[in-house]
Structure 1
Amino acid sequence: MGKSRVHWLRFLRLTSSFRRCPLSKRSLIIASVCVFHLLLVVSHFGYSQHQLERGIDEDKYRNARGFYNLDISDALSDSDLQTGASFVVPTRSNVVYITLKSKRLKPAHIRGTIRPKLRRKVRRKETNSAFTQYKLVTLERDAGQNKRNFASKTSLGETRDVYYKSLDITYISPTDTRIDSHISSIRIYSQRAPPWLSPKDVEVMRFLADANVLRIKEVSHGDSPTLLVFEGKTSVPKKNRKHTVCGGQCGVINIPVDTSEVFAFHLDRVLGLNRTLPAVSRKFSFLHDGQPCPVVSWDASLYPEGLAAGLSTVRLTWGEYQNSLKQRCWHKNISPKPDSGCFTVHHYEWSKLALFDFLLQIHNRLDHSCCGFRPRQEDVCVELGHHAQCGDPNHIQLTNIIHRDHNPRHLVFTNNKGFFDRNEDNLDFRLLEGIKELPEQAVSVLKSKRLREKLLQSLFLDQTYWESQGGRQGIDKLIDVIERRAMVLLTYINAHGIKVITMHV
C-alpha cells in the first residue's frame, strides 16, 4: 500500500512539471512518444507477416508436384499427355530438387544421440560356400585372362544353373527384399520420368534394380568371357524358348569396376541416341561383399543362332570401315551395289557410334589396338600385343560391332567401358576419323549447356549408383570430364567442317 502511494505521488509531480513546461517542449515530447509507439507497432506487424509467409512457403514446398522442373521444350507432347503413355507412378513421397549450385565442402557435423542396435552375427553354413567363393574368384579376373582360362575348361554354349534358394545366404540386403517392402532404388518423385527415358526403360530399370532373384547362371558364349546372368521371373514356356539362358526377364551382372555401363546408358538416352541396353547399379549380398555391381538387361535377340554362335557381329577391318564411310551405305534407303563393299549397317550409325565413343573414350570398338592415343603399360591392348598392329592399321579388325538379328541396320552399343581418367591432351581422335556428319539432336544437347542438368536428373534416379559414386560431388566430377570433352568435340566440328544433320533412321 505504501509503495503504490509513493508511485502515485511521483506520477502527480511528473504531470505537474509537464504542465509547467513550455508548449513547444510539451509538443516535442508527445510527438516523440507517438513515433516510438508507431515503430513498435510496425515492427510487430512485420514480424508476424514474415512468419505467415514462411509457413506458406513451407506448405508449398511440401505440396510440390514432383522432382522435375523442366522447360516446355523438354516436356512431353500433347498426345502423350492425353494418352498417359509415359506417365509413371511416383516411388517416393517426398520431394528432392537437383540444382546446379555446388555443395558446401564441409558437411554439417551431426551428433549421434541414439546408440545403434547390436546385431547378432549368424554363422554361415559351409554347404554351398564353394559356389560363392568361386563366383568371387571368377568375376574379378581380368577380361583377357578370363577369356584364355575359360576356353580350356568349358565347352561352347554351356550353362550352369544355380537356384537362388539353394545359396546359403544368411543375410539378405535391403536390395534383395525391395519387392516385399515396396521401396525401390529407382527414385521417381514425379508423375513422369524424364522425357528421354521411355516407359519401357523405366520398367526394365525397376526390374533390374528390384526384382527377386530366382536363379543365377554362368553362361559361356563362343570365345568371349563368361556371363553371370540372373533370372527374375519366368514368363516364357520352355518349348517356345530359343535357348535355355533366360525364360523371362533377366539381367547380366558385371564386376563392380565396370560402373561406366550405368553412366553410358544415361548419357545415351540424354543425347537421344537410344542404342544402349538399360543398366542400373545393384547390390547382391552374396557377391563381392555387397559392393554395387552394374546390371545390364539381357537381350536374346543379340544371339540369333544360340550362344555357341556368339553375338550377331559385323566383322570388318579398319580399311573396310573407312571405305564404307565413303560409300555412305544405305543412305536414303538406297541399296548399295554388290561390289561396293558395304555392310548391313546404315551410314548414320557410324556417326552416332563415333560421337558416343569419343565422349566416353571407348576404344574397344573402333580402335581395339589403341592406335589413336598413348596407352598405358597395364592396358589390355598393350599386354596382349594388339598395340603392335598399328603399323598396318588398314588390316586391324574392328570388334564389338553388334546388331540385333531382326534389325541389321542399327547398332547396339554393348560393353561400354568408358575411361574418365584420360586427359584432353591424350584423347583418341582416331574414333572420329572418316566421320563427315554428326546427329543434330545429340550435338544440340552439347551446345545447349544443359548437359549437366539433364545428366544429374537422369543419374539421380539410380540411388545405388548415385551413392556408390560419392553422391552429388562424385557425379559432378564425372560430368566435368564429359563437358570438357564435349567442348573439344564442338571445336573439332567447327575446325573440320563436319555437318550436323537430322538422323532419323
Structure 2
Amino acid sequence: MARMGRFGSGLWLRRCLLPKRTLTAALVCTLYFFFTQVNLSLRSPTWTSGRNQIAPSGASNSGVSKEGSAAPTRSNVVYITLKSKRLKPAQIRGTVRPKLRRKARSGALPRWDSPAGAEPEPPVSSIRIYSRTPPPWLSARDVATMRALAGAKVLRVQQARGAPWPLLLFEGTGPGEPNAACGLARAPGDSAEVFAFHLDRVLGLNRTLPAVSRKLAFLHNGQPSPVAAWESSLDPDGVSLTWAEYQRSLRQRCWIRNVAPKPGSGCSAVHHYEWSKVALFDFLLQIHNRLDPSCCGFSPREQDECREPGRRFECTRGDDVRLANVARRRHDPRRLVLTVNKGHFDRGEDNLDFRVLEGIKELPESAVAVLRSGKLREKLLQSLFLDRTYWESRGGRPGIDELIDVIERRARILLAYAGAHGVLAVRMTD
C-alpha cells in the first residue's frame, strides 16, 4: 500500500505538471514565430529609412516594379534613423598675407618704426589669397598692386591731370618702385570698375589697370568705392579718332603681321587687333562711352549721360563723333589701355549696344575659348573672391552670381552674333 501510495502520488504529480509544460512549450513556439515574422518584415524592401528610400541590390529606387505597377507599401511602416560617422571638417588653408615688416638693414630703422622707436599698427590689405600662388590669370604685379591699393597708407591726395577723380599717393612709392602705388578714387556707383578688371584678366585681354574696392574715411563717408591704379606713363592725349576714321582703320587692318601701313592709309599707331579686344570687352559690360560716346547704338535711359540736352543730336552726324577714353602708354603706342570701365549690368537684352561691334571681323581666340568653355562663372568667382571689400559690398555670393548671370547671357548673344555675321576667332598674341 505504501508503494502504491508513492506510485499514485507520482502519477498525480505528472498529470499536474503536464499542462504546465505544454503551456510553456506553446508560449516558446509563439514567441519564436512572432520574432521570426518581425525579422522577415524588417528585411522587406518595402520599408523606408528616413527621407531616402533604400532599395535592395539590383532593385530600383523609383518604387515601381518591373511590370510597371507601384510597389506595395505597408501601413505599419517603421522609420529607422541611421547614425553616420561624423566627417572631419575640410581643412581650409589660411590666408597668405603680405609681410607687414621688412627686415632692418644694418644701421637702418624698420619700415614701420618712427624715429621715437614706436611701431604703429600698419593697415591690413583686404586682398585675400588662399594659396601660395594667385590664379594664373593674375600676375605677381597685379596682386602686388591690388594689395597696395587696398591696404597701403594714403600719404597724399591731389587732383589728377585730365581726370575728375582725386589721385591717391600711397606709402611706399619712390624712385625705382612701380607707379602702381598711385590710384584714382572713383565714386561708389562706379563699382563696376572692379568687376571689369577681373573680367579683363579672366578673358586674357590684359588691357585694364588693377582696381580694388576700399573704404576711405575721408571720401564718400567711408562707403566702399573703387580705387583704380594710375600710371604716369599714360599718354594724356590718348588716341583721337572720329567714328569714320575708326571704321576706315578697321578696313585697312593696320599693322597686321607688323607690316607698316602705307602713307595716306589713315591708319593710327594702334594695332588692328586691339580694337577687337575693346569691342568684345565693351559689349559684355555694355560700356558705351568709348566707342559710342553719343549712345547712338541703343535707347538711352534717364540715368544715362546721353539724356543730357544737346547730346542725342550728334547721332545724326555720327561719322564726326570722336571716340573717347582710348588711352595708351607713351612707350607702347601699339597697345591700348582701358582706363574708364563703367559697365552697365541693368541694361536689358532688348536694348544692347551693338554699335560697339560694328566693323569688327575678328575676336580674340583665347577670350572666345573662355566664353565657350563653361568655366567663366567659376573663374570669375575665384577671382572676385580675392577682393573681400568688393565681395561683401555686392552682397556676397548671391549678389556676385547675379552679375555673372548678366555677363553669361550677353556672352551667348555675342557668340550668336559672331556666328551670324561671320566673325572669326583669331589667335592674337601680344
Query: TM exceeds 0.5?
Result: yes
How do residues 217-236 of structure 1 correspond to structure 2 at under 5 angstroms?
217-219=158-160, 221=161, 224-236=162-174
Please report how far the alpha carbon of residue 471 of structure 1 lies from its aligned counterpart in structure 2 after TM superposition. 1.9
How many residue pairs match? The answer is 356
The match for 1:262 among 171, 191, 194 is 194
Hey, what does 1:291 align to over in structure 2?
223
Please report how far the alpha carbon of residue 416 of structure 1 lies from its aligned counterpart in structure 2 after TM superposition. 0.5
Hey, what does 2:74 align to over in structure 1?
none
How far apart are the structure 1 equivalents of 2:376 and 2:121?
31
2:367 counterpart letter in structure 1? A
Please report how far the alpha carbon of residue 190 of structure 1 lies from its aligned counterpart in structure 2 after TM superposition. 2.9
Indicate the larger mover: 20-29 or 201-210: 20-29
Percent identity between matched residues is 55
Distance 1:477 1:495, change over 3 A: same
- Please tell me whether the aligned partners of residues 325 and 434 of structure 1 are also in contact (alpha carbons under 8 angstroms): yes
Higher helix share: 1
**2:187 is equivalent to residue 185 of structure 1:** no
Please report how far the alpha carbon of residue 398 of structure 1 lies from its aligned counterpart in structure 2 after TM superposition. 1.1
Please report how far the alpha carbon of residue 257 of structure 1 lies from its aligned counterpart in structure 2 after TM superposition. 1.1
Indicate the larger mover: 21-30 or 414-423: 21-30
**2:396 is equivalent to residue 458 of structure 1:** no
Hey, what does 2:396 align to over in structure 1?
471
How do residues 95-244 of structure 1 correspond to structure 2 at under 5 angstroms?
179-180=122-123, 182=124, 184-219=125-160, 221=161, 224-237=162-175
- Please tell me whether the aligned partners of residues 313 and 403 of structure 1 are also in contact (alpha carbons under 8 angstroms): yes
Please report how far the alpha carbon of residue 397 of structure 1 lies from its aligned counterpart in structure 2 after TM superposition. 1.1
Distance 1:17 1:230, change over 3 A: farther
- Please tell me whether the aligned partners of residues 270 and 335 of structure 2 are also in contact (alpha carbons under 8 angstroms): yes
Please report how far the alpha carbon of residue 188 of structure 1 lies from its aligned counterpart in structure 2 after TM superposition. 2.2
Q: Aligned with 2:205: secondary structure?
A: coil
How far apart are the structure 2 equivalents of 1:486 and 1:18?
88
The match for 1:301 among 226, 233, 236 is 233
Please report how far the alpha carbon of residue 275 of structure 1 lies from its aligned counterpart in structure 2 after TM superposition. 0.6
Q: TM-score, normalised by structure 2?
A: 0.75
- Please tell me whether the aligned partners of residues 277 and 297 of structure 1 are also in contact (alpha carbons under 8 angstroms): yes
**2:60 is equivalent to residue 58 of structure 1:** no
How far apart are the structure 2 equivalents of 1:16 and 1:90?
86
- Larger radius of gyration, structure 1 or 2? 2
Hey, what does 1:29 align to over in structure 2?
31
Hey, what does 1:251 align to over in structure 2?
183
- Please tell me whether the aligned partners of residues 312 and 405 of structure 1 are also in contact (alpha carbons under 8 angstroms): no
Q: List gaps (5 residues or longer) in structure 2.
A: 1-16, 43-48, 50-79, 99-119
**2:300 is equivalent to residue 375 of structure 1:** yes
Indicate the larger mover: 324-333 or 190-199: 190-199
How far apart are the structure 1 equivalents of 2:38 and 2:121?
64
Over residues 204-242 of structure 1, what are the superposed CA-to-partner deviations in whole Å (9 max), with x where a residue is unaligned?
Answer: 1111111111222223x2xx44331222224424xx89x
Over residues 77-112 of structure 1, what are the superposed CA-to-partner deviations in whole Å (9 max), with x where a residue is unaligned?
Answer: xxxxxxxxxxxx6249xxxxxxxxxxxxxxxxxxxx
How far apart are the structure 1 equivalents of 2:405 and 2:301?
23
How far apart are the structure 1 equivalents of 2:208 and 2:180?
20
Please report how far the alpha carbon of residue 488 of structure 1 lies from its aligned counterpart in structure 2 after TM superposition. 1.1
The match for 1:481 among 406, 410, 428 is 406
Hey, what does 1:504 align to over in structure 2?
429
Q: Aligned with 1:435: secondary structure?
A: coil
Q: List gaps (5 residues or longer) in structure 1.
A: 1-14, 67-88, 93-176, 304-310
Distance 1:409 1:21, change over 3 A: same
The match for 1:490 among 411, 415, 421 is 415
How far apart are the structure 2 equivalents of 1:30 and 1:380?
88
